[in-house]
Structure 1
Amino acid sequence: MAEPSDGRVGVYLDFDNVVISRYDQLFGRGDFYRDNARRSETDTAKQRLEEARVDIGAILDYATSFGTLAVTKAYADWSAPVNANYRSQLVNRAVDLVQLFPVTSGGKNGADIRLAVDVLDDLFRFDDLSTVVLVAGDSDYIALAQRSRKLGRTVIGIGVAGATSRALMAACDEFIDYDALPGVEPHAPAPRRAEKTAPAVEPEPAVEEPVEPDAEAPESSTPEGATALLLRALRVVESRGDDDWASNSQLKNQMLRIDPTFNEKTLGFSTFTKFLDSRTDVIRVKKDAAPNGPRVQTKR
Protein backbone atom coordinates (compact mmCIF):
# COMPACT_ATOMS: atom_id res chain seq x y z
CA MET A 1 0.00 0.00 0.00
CA ALA A 2 1.01 3.64 -0.31
CA GLU A 3 3.26 4.49 2.61
CA PRO A 4 1.98 6.83 5.36
CA SER A 5 3.74 10.17 5.20
CA ASP A 6 3.76 13.75 6.39
CA GLY A 7 2.39 14.89 3.02
CA ARG A 8 -0.76 16.88 2.42
CA VAL A 9 -3.94 15.15 1.33
CA GLY A 10 -7.01 16.24 -0.60
CA VAL A 11 -10.22 14.25 0.00
CA TYR A 12 -13.09 14.58 -2.49
CA LEU A 13 -16.39 12.78 -1.85
CA ASP A 14 -19.06 12.27 -4.49
CA PHE A 15 -21.52 12.01 -1.65
CA ASP A 16 -24.61 10.94 -3.62
CA ASN A 17 -22.61 8.15 -5.22
CA VAL A 18 -21.50 6.70 -1.90
CA VAL A 19 -24.88 6.99 -0.15
CA ILE A 20 -26.83 5.48 -3.05
CA SER A 21 -24.29 2.72 -3.62
CA ARG A 22 -24.29 1.73 0.06
CA TYR A 23 -28.10 1.64 0.12
CA ASP A 24 -28.26 -0.55 -2.98
CA GLN A 25 -25.47 -2.78 -1.68
CA LEU A 26 -27.52 -3.65 1.39
CA PHE A 27 -31.02 -3.83 -0.09
CA GLY A 28 -30.70 -4.53 -3.80
CA ARG A 29 -29.66 -2.78 -6.99
CA GLY A 30 -31.97 0.11 -7.80
CA ASP A 31 -33.82 0.06 -4.46
CA PHE A 32 -32.70 3.59 -3.60
CA TYR A 33 -34.80 4.93 -6.45
CA ARG A 34 -37.63 2.43 -6.07
CA ASP A 35 -37.96 3.40 -2.38
CA ASN A 36 -37.78 7.11 -3.28
CA ALA A 37 -35.14 7.30 -0.55
CA ARG A 38 -33.82 10.70 -1.65
CA ARG A 39 -36.86 12.33 -0.12
CA SER A 40 -37.00 9.71 2.69
CA GLU A 41 -40.69 10.29 3.31
CA THR A 42 -41.72 6.74 4.25
CA ASP A 43 -40.89 4.84 7.41
CA THR A 44 -39.36 2.04 5.34
CA ALA A 45 -37.00 4.42 3.55
CA LYS A 46 -36.03 6.13 6.81
CA GLN A 47 -35.26 2.82 8.49
CA ARG A 48 -33.24 1.58 5.53
CA LEU A 49 -31.29 4.82 5.28
CA GLU A 50 -30.32 4.48 8.93
CA GLU A 51 -29.16 0.89 8.39
CA ALA A 52 -27.15 2.00 5.34
CA ARG A 53 -25.67 5.03 7.07
CA VAL A 54 -22.19 5.84 5.77
CA ASP A 55 -19.45 6.23 8.39
CA ILE A 56 -17.80 9.50 7.38
CA GLY A 57 -15.37 9.25 10.27
CA ALA A 58 -14.00 5.93 9.01
CA ILE A 59 -13.36 7.44 5.56
CA LEU A 60 -11.59 10.52 6.89
CA ASP A 61 -9.63 8.58 9.50
CA TYR A 62 -8.28 6.31 6.77
CA ALA A 63 -7.39 9.31 4.61
CA THR A 64 -5.26 10.73 7.46
CA SER A 65 -2.97 7.69 7.19
CA PHE A 66 -1.55 9.31 4.03
CA GLY A 67 -0.81 12.68 5.63
CA THR A 68 -2.46 15.88 6.85
CA LEU A 69 -5.91 16.59 5.43
CA ALA A 70 -5.41 19.91 3.66
CA VAL A 71 -8.60 19.81 1.54
CA THR A 72 -11.82 17.95 2.31
CA LYS A 73 -14.85 18.50 0.09
CA ALA A 74 -18.17 16.68 -0.26
CA TYR A 75 -20.46 17.24 -3.25
CA ALA A 76 -24.24 16.83 -3.07
CA ASP A 77 -27.58 18.59 -2.93
CA TRP A 78 -27.52 19.31 0.79
CA SER A 79 -31.15 20.45 0.78
CA ALA A 80 -32.25 16.85 0.11
CA PRO A 81 -33.23 15.11 3.37
CA VAL A 82 -31.09 12.06 2.60
CA ASN A 83 -27.96 14.25 2.54
CA ALA A 84 -29.02 16.84 5.11
CA ASN A 85 -28.89 14.18 7.82
CA TYR A 86 -25.10 14.09 7.40
CA ARG A 87 -24.44 17.82 7.50
CA SER A 88 -23.55 18.16 11.17
CA GLN A 89 -21.28 15.11 11.07
CA LEU A 90 -19.43 16.53 8.05
CA VAL A 91 -19.18 20.05 9.43
CA ASN A 92 -17.78 18.70 12.70
CA ARG A 93 -14.96 17.11 10.68
CA ALA A 94 -14.29 20.41 8.86
CA VAL A 95 -15.54 19.08 5.51
CA ASP A 96 -16.40 21.77 2.96
CA LEU A 97 -19.97 21.10 1.74
CA VAL A 98 -20.26 21.95 -1.96
CA GLN A 99 -23.90 22.59 -2.87
CA LEU A 100 -25.03 21.11 -6.17
CA PHE A 101 -28.62 21.83 -7.12
CA PRO A 102 -30.27 19.26 -9.44
CA VAL A 103 -30.14 20.42 -13.03
CA THR A 104 -32.45 17.74 -14.49
CA SER A 105 -35.83 16.30 -13.54
CA GLY A 106 -34.10 13.06 -12.55
CA GLY A 107 -31.95 14.67 -9.89
CA LYS A 108 -28.61 14.63 -11.72
CA ASN A 109 -26.46 17.36 -10.19
CA GLY A 110 -23.24 17.24 -12.20
CA ALA A 111 -21.10 16.23 -9.21
CA ASP A 112 -18.54 14.47 -11.39
CA ILE A 113 -17.82 17.59 -13.46
CA ARG A 114 -17.60 19.98 -10.49
CA LEU A 115 -15.48 17.56 -8.45
CA ALA A 116 -13.05 16.97 -11.33
CA VAL A 117 -12.66 20.71 -11.97
CA ASP A 118 -11.99 21.37 -8.28
CA VAL A 119 -9.40 18.58 -7.99
CA LEU A 120 -7.39 19.82 -10.97
CA ASP A 121 -7.67 23.42 -9.79
CA ASP A 122 -6.36 22.42 -6.34
CA LEU A 123 -3.50 20.38 -7.83
CA PHE A 124 -2.29 23.29 -9.93
CA ARG A 125 -2.65 25.78 -7.07
CA PHE A 126 -1.14 23.67 -4.30
CA ASP A 127 2.14 22.04 -5.28
CA ASP A 128 2.44 20.32 -1.90
CA LEU A 129 -0.85 18.43 -2.27
CA SER A 130 0.76 15.01 -2.61
CA THR A 131 -2.22 12.63 -2.36
CA VAL A 132 -5.73 12.70 -3.82
CA VAL A 133 -8.39 10.53 -2.16
CA LEU A 134 -11.39 9.97 -4.44
CA VAL A 135 -14.45 8.64 -2.63
CA ALA A 136 -16.59 7.56 -5.58
CA GLY A 137 -17.25 4.69 -7.94
CA ASP A 138 -18.31 6.30 -11.19
CA SER A 139 -16.29 5.49 -14.31
CA ASP A 140 -16.45 9.20 -15.20
CA TYR A 141 -13.60 9.70 -12.71
CA ILE A 142 -11.13 7.50 -14.60
CA ALA A 143 -9.70 10.43 -16.57
CA LEU A 144 -9.38 12.47 -13.37
CA ALA A 145 -7.42 9.70 -11.63
CA GLN A 146 -5.15 9.29 -14.64
CA ARG A 147 -4.53 13.03 -14.92
CA SER A 148 -3.76 13.34 -11.21
CA ARG A 149 -1.18 10.57 -11.48
CA LYS A 150 0.39 12.24 -14.52
CA LEU A 151 0.81 15.33 -12.36
CA GLY A 152 2.84 13.24 -9.91
CA ARG A 153 0.18 12.75 -7.23
CA THR A 154 -0.72 9.51 -5.49
CA VAL A 155 -4.38 8.60 -6.07
CA ILE A 156 -6.28 6.58 -3.47
CA GLY A 157 -9.76 5.32 -4.36
CA ILE A 158 -12.50 4.41 -1.89
CA GLY A 159 -15.75 2.90 -3.14
CA VAL A 160 -18.59 0.55 -2.29
CA ALA A 161 -18.09 -3.08 -3.34
CA GLY A 162 -20.07 -4.00 -6.44
CA ALA A 163 -20.72 -0.37 -7.31
CA THR A 164 -17.30 0.79 -8.46
CA SER A 165 -16.00 0.74 -12.00
CA ARG A 166 -13.28 -1.87 -12.43
CA ALA A 167 -11.43 0.56 -14.70
CA LEU A 168 -11.53 3.26 -12.02
CA MET A 169 -9.96 0.85 -9.54
CA ALA A 170 -7.12 0.19 -11.98
CA ALA A 171 -6.62 3.92 -12.57
CA CYS A 172 -5.79 4.50 -8.88
CA ASP A 173 -2.48 3.83 -7.14
CA GLU A 174 -4.44 2.06 -4.43
CA PHE A 175 -8.11 1.21 -4.04
CA ILE A 176 -9.98 0.01 -0.96
CA ASP A 177 -13.58 -1.10 -0.54
CA TYR A 178 -15.60 0.93 1.95
CA ASP A 179 -16.36 -2.32 3.82
CA ALA A 180 -12.63 -2.90 4.36
CA LEU A 181 -12.05 0.44 6.12
CA PRO A 182 -11.07 0.14 9.80
CA GLY A 183 -14.15 0.55 11.97
CA VAL A 184 -16.70 -0.29 9.26
CA GLU A 185 -18.87 -3.34 9.75
CA PRO A 186 -18.82 -5.21 6.43
CA HIS A 187 -22.04 -6.30 4.77
CA ALA A 188 -22.53 -8.92 2.09
CA PRO A 189 -24.03 -7.52 -1.13
CA ALA A 190 -27.79 -8.00 -1.42
CA PRO A 191 -28.71 -10.96 -3.65
CA ARG A 192 -29.72 -10.16 -7.21
CA ARG A 193 -33.45 -10.52 -7.64
CA ALA A 194 -36.13 -10.22 -10.25
CA GLU A 195 -37.36 -6.78 -11.20
CA LYS A 196 -40.25 -5.47 -9.15
CA THR A 197 -43.54 -4.57 -10.82
CA ALA A 198 -44.10 -0.87 -11.32
CA PRO A 199 -45.54 0.82 -8.19
CA ALA A 200 -48.75 2.82 -8.26
CA VAL A 201 -46.81 6.06 -7.82
CA GLU A 202 -43.90 6.41 -10.21
CA PRO A 203 -40.63 6.84 -8.27
CA GLU A 204 -38.02 9.42 -9.03
CA PRO A 205 -36.42 8.40 -12.35
CA ALA A 206 -32.90 7.10 -12.13
CA VAL A 207 -31.17 9.26 -14.69
CA GLU A 208 -27.77 8.16 -13.53
CA GLU A 209 -27.26 5.35 -11.06
CA PRO A 210 -23.79 5.21 -9.53
CA VAL A 211 -23.93 1.43 -9.60
CA GLU A 212 -22.54 0.04 -12.82
CA PRO A 213 -24.48 -3.08 -13.85
CA ASP A 214 -21.42 -4.80 -15.28
CA ALA A 215 -19.05 -4.02 -12.39
CA GLU A 216 -16.97 -7.10 -11.69
CA ALA A 217 -15.36 -8.19 -8.45
CA PRO A 218 -11.59 -7.74 -8.71
CA GLU A 219 -9.72 -10.98 -9.40
CA SER A 220 -7.51 -10.49 -6.35
CA SER A 221 -10.56 -10.73 -4.08
CA THR A 222 -10.58 -14.53 -4.58
CA PRO A 223 -7.96 -16.87 -3.07
CA GLU A 224 -6.96 -18.15 -6.51
CA GLY A 225 -6.72 -14.65 -7.97
CA ALA A 226 -4.65 -13.40 -5.04
CA THR A 227 -2.21 -16.31 -5.43
CA ALA A 228 -1.85 -15.62 -9.15
CA LEU A 229 -1.24 -11.93 -8.44
CA LEU A 230 1.36 -12.82 -5.79
CA LEU A 231 3.32 -14.97 -8.21
CA ARG A 232 3.17 -12.38 -10.99
CA ALA A 233 4.45 -9.68 -8.66
CA LEU A 234 7.17 -11.91 -7.21
CA ARG A 235 8.48 -12.77 -10.66
CA VAL A 236 8.74 -9.06 -11.51
CA VAL A 237 10.56 -8.22 -8.25
CA GLU A 238 12.97 -11.12 -8.69
CA SER A 239 13.74 -10.11 -12.28
CA ARG A 240 14.70 -6.58 -11.24
CA GLY A 241 16.71 -7.31 -8.10
CA ASP A 242 20.19 -8.60 -7.38
CA ASP A 243 18.90 -10.87 -4.62
CA ASP A 244 16.82 -14.00 -5.12
CA TRP A 245 14.72 -12.96 -2.14
CA ALA A 246 12.14 -10.14 -1.97
CA SER A 247 11.02 -8.16 1.05
CA ASN A 248 7.40 -7.92 2.13
CA SER A 249 7.20 -4.23 1.28
CA GLN A 250 8.73 -4.71 -2.18
CA LEU A 251 6.32 -7.50 -2.92
CA LYS A 252 3.18 -5.81 -1.69
CA ASN A 253 4.01 -2.56 -3.47
CA GLN A 254 4.48 -4.48 -6.72
CA MET A 255 1.19 -6.33 -6.22
CA LEU A 256 -0.60 -2.99 -5.76
CA ARG A 257 1.04 -1.59 -8.90
CA ILE A 258 -0.38 -4.52 -10.85
CA ASP A 259 -3.77 -4.54 -9.10
CA PRO A 260 -4.59 -1.55 -6.84
CA THR A 261 -7.61 -3.41 -5.43
CA PHE A 262 -5.57 -6.05 -3.60
CA ASN A 263 -6.19 -6.12 0.14
CA GLU A 264 -5.25 -9.11 2.26
CA LYS A 265 -7.93 -8.24 4.80
CA THR A 266 -10.71 -9.00 2.30
CA LEU A 267 -9.25 -12.51 2.14
CA GLY A 268 -9.39 -12.93 5.92
CA PHE A 269 -5.77 -12.10 6.84
CA SER A 270 -5.01 -9.42 9.41
CA THR A 271 -1.51 -8.79 8.01
CA PHE A 272 0.33 -9.23 4.73
CA THR A 273 2.82 -11.52 6.50
CA LYS A 274 0.01 -13.92 7.42
CA PHE A 275 -1.19 -13.86 3.83
CA LEU A 276 2.31 -14.87 2.66
CA ASP A 277 2.54 -17.60 5.29
CA SER A 278 -0.66 -19.10 3.86
CA ARG A 279 0.91 -19.41 0.39
CA THR A 280 3.94 -21.57 1.23
CA ASP A 281 2.75 -24.14 -1.31
CA VAL A 282 3.92 -21.78 -4.08
CA ILE A 283 6.51 -19.55 -2.35
CA ARG A 284 9.37 -19.91 0.12
CA VAL A 285 9.35 -17.71 3.22
CA LYS A 286 12.59 -17.20 5.15
CA LYS A 287 11.65 -17.35 8.84
CA ASP A 288 14.90 -15.91 10.24
CA ALA A 289 15.00 -12.82 7.99
CA ALA A 290 15.61 -9.37 9.50
CA PRO A 291 12.56 -7.10 9.88
CA ASN A 292 11.52 -5.97 6.39
CA GLY A 293 14.54 -7.77 4.97
CA PRO A 294 14.49 -10.10 1.92
CA ARG A 295 12.46 -13.13 2.94
CA VAL A 296 10.27 -14.34 0.03
CA GLN A 297 11.10 -16.16 -3.20
CA THR A 298 9.33 -18.28 -5.77
CA LYS A 299 9.33 -21.99 -4.95
CA ARG A 300 11.42 -23.61 -7.67
Structure 2
Amino acid sequence: MDQEDRIALFLDYENLALGVRDHHGGRPFDLRPIADALAERGRVVVRRAYADWSYFDEDRRMLTRSHVELIEIPQRMGASRKNAADIKMAVDAVELAFEREYISTFVIGTGDSDFTPLVHKLRELNKRVIGVGVENSTSALLPPACDEFLFYDRLEGVDVPPAAGRRGRAARPAGTG
Protein backbone atom coordinates (compact mmCIF):
# COMPACT_ATOMS: atom_id res chain seq x y z
CA MET A 1 0.00 0.00 0.00
CA ASP A 2 2.92 2.37 0.61
CA GLN A 3 3.80 2.09 -3.10
CA GLU A 4 0.32 3.14 -4.24
CA ASP A 5 0.11 6.45 -6.11
CA ARG A 6 -1.83 9.20 -4.35
CA ILE A 7 -3.92 11.12 -6.86
CA ALA A 8 -5.43 14.62 -6.81
CA LEU A 9 -8.32 15.10 -9.24
CA PHE A 10 -9.12 18.61 -10.51
CA LEU A 11 -12.11 19.03 -12.82
CA ASP A 12 -12.77 22.05 -15.01
CA TYR A 13 -16.37 20.99 -14.73
CA GLU A 14 -17.94 23.40 -17.20
CA ASN A 15 -15.47 22.35 -19.89
CA LEU A 16 -16.11 18.63 -19.33
CA ALA A 17 -19.88 18.81 -18.86
CA LEU A 18 -20.43 21.01 -21.91
CA GLY A 19 -18.03 18.91 -23.99
CA VAL A 20 -19.97 15.76 -23.14
CA ARG A 21 -23.33 17.44 -23.76
CA ASP A 22 -22.26 18.92 -27.10
CA HIS A 23 -20.50 15.82 -28.47
CA HIS A 24 -22.53 13.02 -26.89
CA GLY A 25 -26.01 13.89 -28.04
CA GLY A 26 -26.99 15.92 -24.98
CA ARG A 27 -26.06 13.19 -22.51
CA PRO A 28 -24.98 14.25 -19.02
CA PHE A 29 -21.41 13.98 -17.75
CA ASP A 30 -20.78 10.87 -15.66
CA LEU A 31 -17.83 10.82 -13.24
CA ARG A 32 -17.86 7.05 -12.75
CA PRO A 33 -15.80 6.12 -15.86
CA ILE A 34 -13.08 8.56 -14.79
CA ALA A 35 -13.16 7.29 -11.20
CA ASP A 36 -12.88 3.69 -12.41
CA ALA A 37 -9.93 4.50 -14.69
CA LEU A 38 -8.14 6.32 -11.87
CA ALA A 39 -8.76 3.48 -9.40
CA GLU A 40 -6.51 1.34 -11.62
CA ARG A 41 -3.74 3.92 -11.26
CA GLY A 42 -3.80 4.63 -7.53
CA ARG A 43 -5.87 6.11 -4.73
CA VAL A 44 -7.69 9.39 -5.31
CA VAL A 45 -7.21 11.44 -2.13
CA VAL A 46 -8.38 14.86 -3.38
CA ARG A 47 -11.39 15.47 -5.62
CA ARG A 48 -12.35 19.01 -6.64
CA ALA A 49 -14.63 20.37 -9.34
CA TYR A 50 -14.72 24.05 -10.33
CA ALA A 51 -17.79 25.76 -11.83
CA ASP A 52 -20.61 28.21 -11.31
CA TRP A 53 -22.83 25.53 -9.78
CA SER A 54 -26.01 27.50 -10.42
CA TYR A 55 -25.68 26.26 -14.03
CA PHE A 56 -25.13 22.61 -13.01
CA ASP A 57 -27.70 22.09 -10.29
CA GLU A 58 -28.55 18.55 -11.48
CA ASP A 59 -24.90 17.45 -11.36
CA ARG A 60 -24.22 18.55 -7.79
CA ARG A 61 -25.79 15.48 -6.18
CA MET A 62 -23.89 13.03 -8.41
CA LEU A 63 -20.60 14.74 -7.59
CA THR A 64 -21.14 15.06 -3.84
CA ARG A 65 -22.11 11.37 -3.67
CA SER A 66 -18.68 10.71 -5.20
CA HIS A 67 -17.04 12.86 -2.48
CA VAL A 68 -16.09 15.64 -4.89
CA GLU A 69 -15.57 19.05 -3.27
CA LEU A 70 -17.51 21.61 -5.28
CA ILE A 71 -15.60 24.87 -5.68
CA GLU A 72 -18.02 27.69 -6.44
CA ILE A 73 -16.93 30.23 -9.05
CA PRO A 74 -19.96 32.52 -9.44
CA GLN A 75 -20.45 34.50 -12.63
CA ARG A 76 -21.49 38.04 -11.81
CA MET A 77 -23.84 39.99 -14.04
CA GLY A 78 -21.95 42.44 -16.22
CA ALA A 79 -18.53 41.17 -15.17
CA SER A 80 -16.34 38.96 -17.32
CA ARG A 81 -15.06 36.06 -15.24
CA LYS A 82 -14.27 33.74 -18.14
CA ASN A 83 -11.04 32.41 -16.64
CA ALA A 84 -11.87 32.69 -12.93
CA ALA A 85 -12.39 28.93 -12.51
CA ASP A 86 -9.25 28.14 -14.53
CA ILE A 87 -7.09 30.45 -12.43
CA LYS A 88 -8.48 29.15 -9.13
CA MET A 89 -7.98 25.55 -10.24
CA ALA A 90 -4.38 26.20 -11.33
CA VAL A 91 -3.49 28.03 -8.10
CA ASP A 92 -5.05 25.26 -5.99
CA ALA A 93 -3.19 22.52 -7.89
CA VAL A 94 0.22 24.19 -7.52
CA GLU A 95 -0.47 24.95 -3.86
CA LEU A 96 -1.37 21.31 -3.25
CA ALA A 97 1.79 20.15 -5.04
CA PHE A 98 3.84 22.04 -2.45
CA GLU A 99 1.67 21.35 0.61
CA ARG A 100 1.16 17.61 0.15
CA GLU A 101 4.32 15.99 -1.12
CA TYR A 102 2.74 12.54 -0.84
CA ILE A 103 0.49 13.35 -3.83
CA SER A 104 2.40 11.93 -6.78
CA THR A 105 -0.18 12.27 -9.56
CA PHE A 106 -2.38 15.16 -10.62
CA VAL A 107 -5.35 14.58 -12.89
CA ILE A 108 -6.48 17.66 -14.79
CA GLY A 109 -9.94 17.17 -16.27
CA THR A 110 -10.35 19.66 -19.13
CA GLY A 111 -9.81 20.06 -22.83
CA ASP A 112 -8.63 23.65 -22.48
CA SER A 113 -5.10 24.41 -23.71
CA ASP A 114 -4.91 27.22 -21.12
CA PHE A 115 -4.00 24.47 -18.63
CA THR A 116 -0.84 23.48 -20.54
CA PRO A 117 1.40 25.77 -18.40
CA LEU A 118 -0.07 24.16 -15.26
CA VAL A 119 0.77 20.71 -16.65
CA HIS A 120 4.34 21.81 -17.37
CA LYS A 121 4.73 23.31 -13.87
CA LEU A 122 3.43 20.17 -12.14
CA ARG A 123 5.79 18.01 -14.18
CA GLU A 124 8.64 20.38 -13.30
CA LEU A 125 7.72 19.77 -9.65
CA ASN A 126 8.22 16.03 -10.29
CA LYS A 127 4.52 15.20 -10.38
CA ARG A 128 2.93 12.81 -12.85
CA VAL A 129 0.11 14.48 -14.80
CA ILE A 130 -2.82 12.69 -16.36
CA GLY A 131 -5.16 14.73 -18.52
CA VAL A 132 -8.81 13.86 -19.13
CA GLY A 133 -10.91 15.48 -21.82
CA VAL A 134 -13.69 14.99 -24.31
CA GLU A 135 -12.09 14.01 -27.60
CA ASN A 136 -13.81 16.49 -29.92
CA SER A 137 -13.43 19.44 -27.55
CA THR A 138 -9.84 18.90 -26.37
CA SER A 139 -7.13 21.19 -27.69
CA ALA A 140 -4.41 19.36 -29.62
CA LEU A 141 -1.83 21.11 -27.39
CA LEU A 142 -2.93 19.51 -24.13
CA PRO A 143 -2.49 15.71 -24.58
CA PRO A 144 1.20 15.79 -25.56
CA ALA A 145 2.00 17.97 -22.53
CA CYS A 146 0.69 15.30 -20.13
CA ASP A 147 2.38 12.07 -19.05
CA GLU A 148 -0.83 10.30 -20.03
CA PHE A 149 -4.10 11.50 -21.53
CA LEU A 150 -7.47 9.78 -21.18
CA PHE A 151 -10.16 10.66 -23.65
CA TYR A 152 -13.46 10.51 -21.79
CA ASP A 153 -15.16 9.12 -24.91
CA ARG A 154 -12.89 6.06 -24.90
CA LEU A 155 -13.23 5.16 -21.22
CA GLU A 156 -15.01 1.96 -20.27
CA GLY A 157 -18.58 2.72 -19.28
CA VAL A 158 -19.02 5.79 -21.50
CA ASP A 159 -21.88 5.33 -23.93
CA VAL A 160 -20.87 7.17 -27.09
CA PRO A 161 -23.59 7.98 -29.62
CA PRO A 162 -23.01 6.19 -32.96
CA ALA A 163 -22.31 9.48 -34.79
CA ALA A 164 -19.43 10.29 -32.42
CA GLY A 165 -17.66 6.96 -33.04
CA ARG A 166 -14.63 5.58 -31.22
CA ARG A 167 -11.03 5.70 -32.30
CA GLY A 168 -8.33 3.61 -30.66
CA ARG A 169 -7.68 2.82 -27.00
CA ALA A 170 -8.94 4.41 -23.78
CA ALA A 171 -5.55 5.61 -22.62
CA ARG A 172 -2.72 6.97 -24.67
CA PRO A 173 0.75 7.77 -23.38
CA ALA A 174 1.72 11.33 -24.22
CA GLY A 175 3.62 11.83 -27.42
CA THR A 176 2.02 8.90 -29.27
CA GLY A 177 -0.53 9.12 -32.05
Q: Which amino acid aligns with 2:153?
A: D
Aligned partner of residue 150 in structure 2, secondary structure = strand
- Please tell me whether residue 21 in structure 1 is matched to residue 29 in structure 2: no
Tell me the amino acid that sits aligned with residue 175 of structure 2: I
Code of the aligned partner of 1:74 = A
Which structure shows the bigger proportion of residues in strand conformation?
A: 2
Identify the residue that residue 126 of structure 1 maps to in structure 2.
Answer: 100
1:1-300 to 2 correspondences below 5 Å:
6-27=4-25, 48=26, 52-80=27-55, 83-103=56-76, 105=78, 108=82, 110-187=84-161, 188-189=163-164, 256-259=173-176
Alpha-carbon offset, residue 93 of structure 1: 1.0
Could you tell me the TM-score, scaled by structure 1's length?
Answer: 0.53
Q: Offset at 1:258?
A: 2.8
Q: Which has the higher contact order (CA 8 A, sep 6+)?
A: 2
Q: Is the 8 A contact 1:73 1:95 kept in 2?
A: yes
- Secondary structure, counterpart of 1:166 in structure 2: coil
Structure 2 unaligned regions, length at least 5: none
Rg larger for: 1
Separation in 2 of the partners of 1:119 and 1:179? 25
| Whole-Å separation in 2 of the counterparts to 1:74 and 1:58 | 16
Structure 2 distance, partners of 1:107, 1:16, is 13
Which amino acid in the other structure matches residue 44 of structure 2? Answer: L
Scaled by the length of structure 2, what TM-score is found?
Answer: 0.87
Deviation at 1:104, TM superposition (A): 5.9
Q: How many angstroms apart in 2 are the aligned matches of 1:257 and 1:160?
A: 16
Cα distance in 2 for residues equivalent to 1:113 and 1:186: 31
Q: Percent identity?
A: 34
Provide the rounded CA distance (Å) in 2 between the counterparts of 1:87 and 1:109. Answer: 21
CA RMSD of superposed structures (Å) = 2.2
Per-residue CA deviation, residues 136-185 of structure 1 (Å, 9 max, x unaligned), is 00010000011111111111111001110111111001112111111111
Letter matched to residue 159 of structure 1 = G
| 1:107 Cα offset (Å) | 6.8
**Corresponding residue SS for 1:170:** helix
Residues matched between the structures, number: 170
SS at match of 2:141: helix
Partner SS for 1:144: helix
Distance in 2 separating the partners of 1:153 and 1:107: 29
CA contact (8 A) 1:8 1:69 kept: yes
Please state whether the residue corresponding to 1:101 is helix, strand or coil. Answer: coil
Q: CA deviation at 1:108?
A: 3.0
